Amino acid sequence: RKEVEQDPGPFNVPEGATVAFNCTYSNSASQSFFWYRQDCRKEPKLLMSVYSSGNEDGRFTAQLNRASQYISLLIRDSKLSDSATYLCVVILPAGGTSYGKLTFGQGTILTVHP
Amino acid sequence: EPEVTQTPSHQVTQMGQEVILRCVPISNHLYFYWYRQILGQKVEFLVSFYNNEISEKSEIFDDQFSVERPDGSNFTLKIRSTKLEDSAMYFCARGRLVETQYFGPGTRLLVL
């Protein structure tokens, strides 16, 4: 089983649509969770952290279900500028055997069209 | 966030040659990382560097790889004898906290 698994897509949606991405992770000891965004041939950029209580940042909402080892990202009112690859990322606790190693999913490609 | 600089932005080298990739992080950041991304594949962890020592490394980070912070500022990744499969985008990341990592723009390495 892959450490972090995402539906690669691609997702093609019109402007204004709502789109949801899912991600599962295999290591139940994972403590921190993130969504990164990566534009073509660019570096990953932190979009938002994901907390157990769920969190929202403008049009973006992230959810975490520890029991199911499942993370989601919801984008409302999609914009053309949201077109990118969305990366699900988990991290094991610092200390012990990990000092912040980010484990990435393969990414989900989103294209928002006019 | 302050910018992280990586040099060079692109490098083409012959198989078997040594390459040195450089990252200039922010001085008050404690945690430094190298990741790579082969074209069309996911981002993969290579090595983490904390308190001027390697704290963790992946299976990819074999004896051909080394990291240094030679002058307390630049953070370098050296590949001693490049292979074709080393062709990838190499990203430096840094942070004040383990959980907050910001990536540089990357160095695109092509091994011929």
Point out the residue among A49, A100, A105 whose CB comes nearest to the CB of B98. A100
Task: Check if the beta carbon of residue A62 is closer than 8 Å to that of residue A50.
Answer: yes
Across the interface, whether the CB atoms of A106 and B41 are under 8 A apart is answered: yes
Question: By mean pLDDT, which of A55-59, A90-94, B44-48 is the weakest?
Answer: A90-94
Q: Which residue of A has its CA nearest to B105?
A: A43
Q: Give the C-alpha separation, B101 to B112, whole Å.
A: 31
Q: CB burial class (10 A; 0-12, 13-18, 19+) of residue B30?
A: middle
Q: Give me the mean pLDDT over the A48-65 stretch.
A: 93
- Is the pLDDT at B97 greater than 90, yes or no? no
Across the interface, whether the CB atoms of B43 and A94 are under 8 A apart is answered: no
Task: Check if the beta carbon of residue A82 is closer than 8 Å to that of residue A91.
Answer: no
Q: Does B5 touch chain A (CB under 8 A)?
A: no
Share of chain B above pLDDT 70, in %: 92
Q: Residue A62, SS3?
A: strand
Sorting pLDDT into bands at 50, 70 and 90, what band is A31? confident
DSSP state of A92: P
Q: Give me the mean pLDDT over the A100-111 stretch.
A: 92
Across the interface, whether the CB atoms of B45 and A103 are under 8 A apart is answered: yes
Q: Which residue of A has its CA nearest to B55?
A: A99
Sorting pLDDT into bands at 50, 70 and 90, what band is B27? low
